Amino acid sequence: MSLNPPIRNWRGRRVWVVGASSGIGAAVAKLLLGAGARVALSARSAPSLEALASGFSGDNTLCLPLDATRPEALLRGMEDIRGHWGGLDLAIFCAGTYAPMRAWQLDGEKARAMVETNFMSVVHGVQAVIPGFLAQGSGGIVIISSVAGYRGLPNGLVYGSTKAALINLAENLYLDLAPKGIGVFLVNPGFVKTPLTDKNTFRMPALIGADEAATRIVSGIERGRFEIHFPRRFTALLKLARLLPYALYFRLARAATGL
Ligand SMILES: NC(=O)c1ccc[n+]([C@@H]2O[C@H](COP(=O)([O-])OP(=O)(O)OC[C@H]3O[C@@H](n4cnc5c(N)ncnc54)[C@H](OP(=O)(O)O)[C@@H]3O)[C@@H](O)[C@H]2O)c1
């Protein structure tokens, strides 16, 4: 069911991908550039953004290297986009970091880095784009969360909390912004092979490639979905697990992960 205005044609659309230097963000940016969109690319690594942009027409790319944990950098990025393209149609917030942690490894600095990068960067990014979207009465916000936000999972300490917070943030944003013509898209991927998951030492069930993830995300946006989750063979099980009472869920989570 379409909860957001569907997007049928990417030609000339002005898109900002924050977290575009690798993994899912880079794959989404390439897919949209290939479909004719104009894409502003942000992340800290300028050389990676330049390398991605070099494969496409200079008219359609804008490299805006920035640290998304800094609110003023995101405000400046939005100003740059407005200066070059007159405005923005879609913002995709993809910046993320992950440090696997069990309770006895809890590290305040790593936890803060995950909260700042995964959650606060999205809050500041949304704050930067909302005034323009409200003024034009259109626009879309895409938030990359994770199935790790559905329920507590071993190794997901704090990372899962940031993703649960993003799910709640997206729901709140949708309630406020949909009546004003602004789309809000919540993306909950399962395991995707990227530099972020390359550090996992366990077998990742239903692992997919970044290009497949990008295809799912873009197709979900085109259809106007609120929640875009994939791969379904994995996310369907996790959605079911969300409904279980705690006693049963904790037993199953331990048995499934062996942790
Ligand atoms: N891979 C998975 O299985 C999976 C599953 C569910 C959800 N996700 C989520 O998907 C998103 C993308 O992750 P990925 O798997 O594609 O990992 P990735 O390849 O490591 O990409 C992370 C991106 O975030 C950027 N980033 C990190 N810190 C930043 C900062 N302070 N400012 C600006 N950009 C920053 C990185 O660029 P720089 O380092 O150049 O700044 C990079 O472009 C994350 O939010 C992640 O939590 C991933």
Mean pLDDT confidence for 230-251: 97
Strand arrangement, sheet containing 140-144? 61-63, 38-42, 14-18, 90-93, 140-144, 183-189, 227-230
Cβ neighbors of 31 (< 8 A, separation 6 or more) are 211, 214, 215, 218
Q: Is 22 in the pocket of ligand 1 (CB under 6 A)?
A: yes
The pLDDT tens digits of the residues spanning 136-195 come to 999 999 999 999 999 999 999 999 999 999 999 999 999 999 999 999 999 999 999 999
Question: Residue 259: what pLDDT?
Answer: 85
CB 97 within 8 A of CB 22: no
- What distance in Å separates the CA atoms of residue 258 and residue 146, rounded to the nearest whole number? 21
Catalytic positions, please? 159
CATH fold for the domain made of 14-257: Rossmann fold (3.40.50)
Angle value at C-alpha 8, between 1 and 175, nearest 5 degrees: 45
Q: How confident is the model at residue 258 (pLDDT cuts 50, 70, 90)?
A: confident
User: Is the per-residue pLDDT at 1 higher than 80?
Assistant: no
CA of 23 to the centre of ligand 1 (A): 7
CA of 34 to the centre of ligand 1 (A): 21
CA of 141 to the centre of ligand 1 (A): 17
pTM (two decimals): 0.98
Q: Is 67 in the pocket of ligand 1 (CB under 6 A)?
A: yes
Residue ID of nearest Cα to ligand 1 atom 42: 19
Q: Is 19 in the pocket of ligand 1 (CB under 6 A)?
A: yes
Mean pLDDT confidence for 209-225: 98
- What distance in Å separates the CA atoms of residue 173 and residue 165, rounded to the nearest whole number? 12
For the chain, which residues make up each domain, given as ranges?
Answer: 14-257
